[in-house]
Amino acid sequence: MSEVSAMLKRTVEDRFGFVRLRGELSGVKRAASGHLYCCLKDDAARLDGVMWRGAAQRLAFVPEDGIEVVASGKLTTYPGRSTYQIVIERMEIAGEGALLALLARLKARLEAEGLFDAGRKRPLPFLPRTIGVVTSPTGAVIRDILHRLSGRFPSRVLVWPVLVQGQDAAGQVAAAVRGFSELAANGAVPRPDLVIVARGGGSIEDLWAFNDEAVVRAIAASAIPVISAVGHETDTTLADFAADLRAPTPTAAAELAVPVLAELATQIAELALRKRRGQLRLVALAGERLAARIERLPQPQAVLAQRAQRLDDLGERLRRGLTHRVDLARVHLAQRAAPLRPALLEARVARAGERLAGLARLQRQLSPDAPLARGYARVSAPGRALVASKAAAASEPRLTLHFHDGTLEVATGAGPAQAPRRRLGGRASEQPKLL
């Protein structure tokens, strides 16, 4: 049978070295090994498919049942089930309609998790000192953002260069958003106060990286407020729903990020003028009120005369009171000092010394190490000062025997049994199993 299976395998692989198929995904499963197993079907037939881990990791979308795709690869056989299958090397969504359907399903699932809730949106900082921009470093987008920032309010800009289109774009954008959040607040590279995720316009395929679930989750989990500026005004991606604010264009994102410096200077000047006028008005009103109150105040001599007499009375009462308190304290001290004779104190100290000596002798008699000099031994274990029974000793892997002249470490052999290691090898373990 093995020879026949091998001949069939060579025949199929030689005859169909490379094929390109269009069909609907069904039974999509991702194994723990990272391999992807699925079926491709149309109205009349179905074909099993497998995509090895390396190729599956490069997918630009998450495969799901019901998505129509175009798969490229080679046909081969699987002798373990006497079936034939396609080893998929590349897979992409077939047509804009399928992309929109996939986008709708993903949006509904993420929206059900609350990632797009308005209550999660955070206000943008009024005047960010540092702005992080996630975009391509060579496109017109970054130039437009820098130009608009310099014209409104020059700010420090950190650019995290990423691909904005292609298979690796989503992973790079998600990593950049997370990377900005992970920067230390006072590190060598300052942590941005605001992050702008930007890309120019394009088709739904061009903007698909910003619909990726990893990008959406990274934006939603960002510790820094995020502005999404992907595409033109009519373009909408899932990143727009997850961000704290959506800008219609990258240039508009720069306008939303910072105020206009000239307008701020004008407002500050107006506020300073209003403050100055208010201060002068308050001083004038206070002067008028002060003059009116001064006219109604009594003469200082009349006010101070009664207070001076009251002060003299209180000073005399204080002098007499202090003298009386000193006399009482002197009598009280004499009464308390009478029992404090040296002989009495020495007797109390002697009694306390005898009690202390008795307690010391009792401590030495009750010490667990006292019998060691007579040939006994004390058993302990890690974390336990005393092991007093055979059952307790049997559960410990190591014991320590204490003698009068030192200690001895003893291994009992107790402890959890080690599970036998499973040996992997052979060509059979390398053969992927069709699920």
Question: What pLDDT band is residue 404 in, cutting at 50, 70 and 90?
Answer: confident
Q: Which residue has the tokens 């105040």?
A: 297
177: how many CB neighbours lie within 10 A of its CB? 30
- The least confident of 93-107, 162-176, 229-243 is 93-107
Is pLDDT at 340 greater than 50 in this prediction? yes
Band of the pLDDT at 84, cuts 50, 70, 90?
A: confident
Asked if the model's pLDDT at residue 235 lies above 90, the reply is no
Instruction: In whole angstroms, give the CA distance from residue 137 to residue 143.
Output: 9
Q: Which two tokens stand for residue 94?
A: 């077939």
Average pLDDT in the 22-31 region? Answer: 89
Q: Is the pLDDT of residue 103 over 90?
A: no
Q: What is the DSSP letter of 181?
A: H
Confidence at 347, pLDDT banded by 50, 70, 90: confident
Region of poorest pLDDT, from 102-111, 239-248, 293-302: 293-302
**Mean of pLDDT over the chain:** 84
* Cα gap 314→159, rounded to integer Å: 78
- Distances 154 to 99, 148, 194, 257, 287 between C-alpha atoms, Å: 40, 9, 14, 11, 45
Q: In what order do the strands lie in the sheet with 406-411?
A: 378-380, 398-403, 406-411
* pLDDT(421) > 60: no
Residue 80's pLDDT is 65
pLDDT of residue 96: 61
Which region among 195-199, 274-278, 289-293, 340-344 has the lowest average model confidence (pLDDT)? 340-344
Percentage with pLDDT > 70 across the chain: 90
Q: Residue 416 has what pLDDT?
A: 52
Greater model confidence, 289 or 368:
289
H or E element in which residue 39 lies: strand 36-41
- Give SS3 for 241: helix
Which residues are 41's β-sheet partners?
Answer: 24, 46
* Tally of CB atoms within 10 A around 62: 13
Report residue 116: phi and psi, to 5°: -105, 10
Look at residue 11 and tell me whether its pLDDT is greater than 80: no
Average pLDDT over residues 22-41: 90
CB 78 within 8 A of CB 6: no
Which range among 14-28, 142-156, 269-283 shows the weakest confidence by mean pLDDT?
A: 14-28
- β-bridge partners, 156: 130
Residue 306 banded pLDDT, cuts 50, 70, 90: confident
pLDDT, position 193: 94
Q: What are the helix and strand counts (H, E) for the chain?
A: 13, 13
Query: Domains in the chain, please, with CATH?
Result: 2-93 (2.40.50.140), 121-259 (3.40.50.261), 370-411 (no CATH)
pLDDT band at 4 (very low <50, low <70, confident <90, very high): low
Quote the pLDDT of residue 58. 79
pLDDT band at 106 (very low <50, low <70, confident <90, very high): confident
Q: Has residue 432 got a pLDDT over 60?
A: no
Do residues 135 and 199 make contact, with C-beta atoms less than 8 angstroms apart?
Answer: yes
Percent pLDDT > 90 in the chain is 31
198, 199, 203, 209: CA torsion to nearest 10: -70
pLDDT at res. 276: 92
Specify the pTM. 0.50
Q: Is the pLDDT of residue 161 over 90?
A: yes
What torsion do the CA atoms of 348, 351, 356, 358 make, to the nearest 10 degrees?
A: -170
402-421: buried (b, 16+ CB within 10 Å) or exposed (e) per residue? beeeeeeeeeeeeeeeeeee
- The answer to whether 192 touches 177, Cβ cutoff 8 Å, is no
Q: Convert the pLDDT of each residue in 348-389 to its tens digit.
A: 888 888 899 888 888 877 887 878 888 888 899 988 878 888
Is pLDDT above 60 for 419? no
Comparing C-alpha atoms, which of 248, 137, 253 is closest to residue 196? Answer: 253
pLDDT category at 85 given cuts 50, 70, 90 is confident
pLDDT digits (tens, 9 = 90+) for 171-225: 999 999 999 999 988 888 899 999 999 998 887 778 888 988 999 999 999 999 9
DSSP-assigned letter for residue 420: P
Residue 22: both structure tokens together: 């269009």
- Look at phi and psi of residue 274 and say left if phi exceeds 0, alpha if psi is from -120 to 50, else beta: alpha
Q: Provide the pLDDT for residue 431.
A: 43
Q: So what's the pLDDT on residue 303?
A: 74
Separation of alpha carbons 238 and 110, rounded Å: 9
Task: Please report the pLDDT score of residue 13 as a whole number.
Answer: 64
